[in-house]
Every structure is written in structure tokens, then in C-alpha cells.
Amino acid sequence: MALSQNIPPDAKEPNQCLNMKVLRLLKPSFIQSGSMMYEDGGEIDVYKWIKDRKIAAFGQEAIASDDLFKEQQFSLTEELVLPQSFGAMFLGQYLHCYACVSNITNSAVRDITVKLEFQVQSAAAGRSEMVLNEGKQFLLEPQQTFDFIINKEIRDLGSHMMIASITYSNPLNPLERVNLKKCFRYSVARPMDFKNKFVSLPDGGYFGEFNIQNLTNTSIVLETVRMITSPEYTSEEVTLPLYQHPLDTLNMRSFLGPNDSRQFVFRIRLTDRTRTGEILKSSTSPGRVEILWRTRMGDLGKVTTSPLNRAVPDFRDIFVTLANRPAKVELYKAFAVTVAVFSLGTRPMEFVLKLPDQHDRAFAWCGISGRAVGSVAPGGVLEFPLPVVPCSVGLHLFPRFQLIDILSGQRYDSEDLAEIFVE
């Protein structure tokens, strides 16, 4: 790791016995250059070197129409350089600093304590403190230094300020306590933009679509993207099978250049299907997304979103879905689906199944229309089988049906619940 320049303090304190400097511990970075550097400090211009040899071999006319030498757009590779400034700070990274308290007088300074306070210029953000040397007082002889390392996780955006408070006894008057305070400022930006979208599924679950865009000016690598679900849900990432190609082993989806975006899809399921009605009516968040990413030099950063919000569907007294159904069936071969009715109301209901006529004849009902299928208590679930016969080849929507509550006379029409392929 390399030492960057000092974090700029607010002001200098005159007539003090101690001085404090802070340097950020930062790894080198890459820059694009058109010249080659050597250890002796000499520099060779690559453009001129190639140009002279091309003229010697082919004459002046060889480079007259060569865009390489017109626009000077030639470079060999990127160079590794030491930090020239404090560098960019991003949310979720760690601030690693080297701090040095030095005695700049010819007298010993006693009873020294050092305390660091981190502030964010935001009304919602609080302060945090760090006491060095376990709060123990220490002594510095003339020209002696006290060195320490600062490791601080960055959790807030905006302008930050690290305040170093040093107290010590006045060498000329040991009963007098002298205070030295220095402020070091730095700013924190967002490393990425996060957008989410939820698509409701018939079983009460969701598809969560998460789009991540790199907002930094350099390339980053997404190490892990995972969803931390609420207790009511479970999640798994939906991934496509990799083709048998050597480049697939590189996992290029995790590599993001500047302004690049990647999309991740998660299937979110309910942990307890008997509570589907209760959960659908509530505003419970499905969870949060945690992203671990690294810079080109391997520095780790972590971004955790706030609890994600989903739209609460405007359901009526019941929610109807297919709890069990095949994805593919054979033509003219009867099969049965399991219909699940979740009660969202506050009163008991007793249902009769009404099977309307099918005009497109993609499916034909098997059974008697108007038969009783059972009752359901408030917040409960009712399941019953519904047999049908496919009459047409292709991908078809499952036919709609009606449920009539004989206690209140209310009629409920089902929606397009699923698509089934008939072969």
C-alpha cells in the first residue's frame, strides 16, 4: 500500500507543542500514458521512436496519411502510479489512514490523549468517536512521534469531517491542560446506482428485477449480489445456464466498466402459504439487497439497500391462484389443477363453483357446474381440484371460472391464472 498526501486540515494551530498529520493508506492506480518511463528518470517518447524508424524504413510519405501519428492516439499499456491526491471515497468502503502525532518542541510533553470524532454534514447522520491508545495518557520526548492506524467504515454520503482532539499538559505549567484540535475533510460519493422492480406471481410471490449501474470512473467487479429476505419470504437467484465456452469461466457478467449496467433476477417465494392472504394485505418488505464489490486493485466495498418496497395489490375479499398445475400436457388427455382460494376478508364464506361456457374450446371442463367446493374461515385457505381436458394444441391460458359465495350471494370471477402448453 502507498501513502497519499495529507488529508487537508481546516487550519494550522500556532504556538502548540504538538503537531498532527494524517495520510490516507491507498493502493496505486492505473493511468493511460503514451510514453515509457525508466528507473533512471529518463523518458522515451513512443510516438517519436516509432515515427523515426518508420521514416528510415519507408520514407516520409509512409506517415503522411497515417492517423496514428496525426492524432497521437498510440499507447502500449496502462501504467501503475502512486496516489497523487487523497483519492475518491465511495459508500461502503473503509477509510484506512496513517496518523502521526509529533512533539515539535525541545521539551517533553506529558499526559497526552488523542480522540477522533467523525461527523457527517447531514442532520440525520450521527457522530461517532474513536479514542486512541485505549484512552491511556502517554508521553512524547522531544522530536518523538506517536503513530497509529485508523480504520473506519464509510456508511454515509456527502461531506465528512474527521476531528482530531489532542489534550496534553503544558510543559511550562503542568497543571494547565492545552487543547489542540484539527479537522480533516473528505467527501463520499455513490459507487453505483440501484433500481428495482417487482413482478407479482399467481402464488403470491414475486420476481425481483435489480439493475446495478457503475457510477465510478473506473472498472469494478461485483463479487456477490444476494438478497436478504424478510422472515416471510425466501429467495433464489434466477440464472441462465452457461454455454460451454472458455470465456464463460471468466464470469464477465460480474465485470462492470464505467457506466455499465447489469441486471439480476431473483425468485421470491412465501415461506408459509397459509398466510398468503395476511401477507398480501400487509406492506411487509420482501427484504434488502447486499452487494459486495471490488475495485481494480482489489479494495472491497459493500452496499446494502434500504428495505425494498413492493406495491400492495388491491385485492377484494379473496385471492385465487393455482397451487398446483402442470406446465405441459397432452392433447385430449384429462388433467387436474389445484385451485387455492385465500380469504382476505373478515367473514366466513361458502363457495359454489360455476363453470362458464368455453367459446374458444382450448379446454373443456370435466365435472358439474354449480357444485359446492367448500367453505373458508377469515384468513384461511380453501383448496379443491378442478379437472379439464385440452382440446387445442399450443400455448393457452387456463380458462376462467366463477366462485359464488352462497352466504352473501357475492360472485367472484377468476383472472388469467396460468399458461399451459398442449402438445
For residue 7, give the DSSP letter: P
**Could you give the residue ranges of the DSSP H alpha helices within 230-302?**
276-281
Q: Is the pLDDT of residue 62 over 50?
A: yes
Element (H, E) at 54: helix 46-58
φ, ψ for residue 124 (rounded to 5)?
-80, -20
CA distance readout (Å), 309 to 208, 279, 280, 287? 11, 13, 13, 8
pLDDT at 138: 84
Q: How many CB atoms lie within 10 A of CB 145?
A: 13
Is residue 309 a part of any domain in this protein?
A: no
pLDDT tens track for 121-145: 765 556 777 776 677 788 889 889 9
Specify whether 212 is located in the same domain as 289.
yes
Is residue 310 a part of any domain in this protein?
A: no
Of 281, 304, 327, the domain-final residue: 304
Look over the chain and give the mean of its residue pLDDT values, rounded to a whole number: 78
Name the amino acid, one letter, at 77: T
Specify whether 218 is located in the same domain as 288.
yes
pLDDT at 37: 44
Q: Residue 300: which residues within 8 A CB-CB, separation 6 or more?
A: 93, 94, 223, 292, 293, 294
> What's the order of all strands across the beta sheet hosting 328-329?
328-329, 419-422, 394-397
Q: Is the pLDDT of residue 41 over 90?
A: no
**CATH number of 122's domain:** 2.60.40.10
For residue 273, give the DSSP letter: G
What's the rounded Cα separation, in Å, for the pair 215 and 232? 33
Specify whether 375 is located in the same domain as 349.
yes
Q: How many CB atoms lie within 10 A of CB 211?
A: 14
Specify whether 18 is located in the same domain as 156.
yes
Is residue 258 a part of any domain in this protein?
A: yes
pLDDT tens track for 387-406: 988 888 888 888 888 888 88
pLDDT tens track for 306-347: 888 876 655 567 778 887 888 888 888 888 888 888 877 778
Grid cell 500556532 is found at 14
What's the rounded Cα separation, in Å, for the pair 265 and 201? 14
Burial class (CB in 10 A: 0-12, 13-18, 19+), 236: exposed
Burial 394-406 (b: 16+ CB within 10 A, else e): eebebbebebbbe
Least confident span in 101-110, 125-134, 186-195, 376-385? 125-134
Specify whether 236 is located in the same domain as 93.
no
Grid cell 482532539 is found at 165
What is the pLDDT averaged over residues 284-296? Answer: 87
Specify whether 277 is located in the same domain as 265.
yes
pLDDT at 192: 92
Q: Are 250 and 174 in contact (CB under 8 A)?
A: no
Of 162, 188, 214, the domain-final residue: 188
Grid coordinates representing 104? Answer: 515539535
Specify whether 285 is located in the same domain as 242.
yes
pLDDT at 70: 45
pLDDT tens track for 217-268: 888 899 989 999 888 888 888 876 554 444 454 556 688 888 999 889 998 8
Specify whether 202 is located in the same domain as 289.
yes
Q: Is the pLDDT of residue 72 over 50?
A: no
Total count of residues recorded for the chain: 423
pLDDT at 211: 92
Name the amino acid, one letter, at 254: S
pLDDT tens track for 167-179: 888 888 888 888 8
Specify whether 10 is located in the same domain as 137.
yes
Specify whether 156 is located in the same domain as 197.
no
What's the rounded Cα separation, in Å, for the pair 379 and 315? 13
Is residue 276 a part of any domain in this protein?
A: yes
pLDDT at 213: 93
**CATH number of 213's domain:** 2.60.40.1230
Specify whether 228 is located in the same domain as 369.
no
CA proximity to 34, closest of 19, 18, 51, 53:
51
CA proximity to 24, closest of 88, 72, 68:
88
Q: Is the pLDDT of residue 358 over 80?
A: no
pLDDT band at 290 (very low <50, low <70, confident <90, very high): very high
pLDDT at 3: 46
Is residue 340 a part of any domain in this protein?
A: yes
Handedness of CA 78, 82, 84, 88 (dihedral sign): positive
Q: Is the pLDDT of residue 148 over 50?
A: yes
Q: Is the pLDDT of residue 289 over 90?
A: yes
Handedness of CA 336, 337, 342, 343 (dihedral sign): negative
pLDDT at 65: 54
pLDDT at 202: 59
Greatest C-alpha distance within the chain: 104
Q: Are 411 and 391 in contact (CB under 8 A)?
A: no
Is residue 336 a part of any domain in this protein?
A: yes
Is residue 224 a part of any domain in this protein?
A: yes
Is residue 313 a part of any domain in this protein?
A: no
Q: Are 158 and 16 in contact (CB under 8 A)?
A: no
pLDDT at 247: 46
The domain in which residue 218 lies consists of 192-304
Specify whether 18 is located in the same domain as 123.
yes
Q: Are 52 and 63 in contact (CB under 8 A)?
A: no
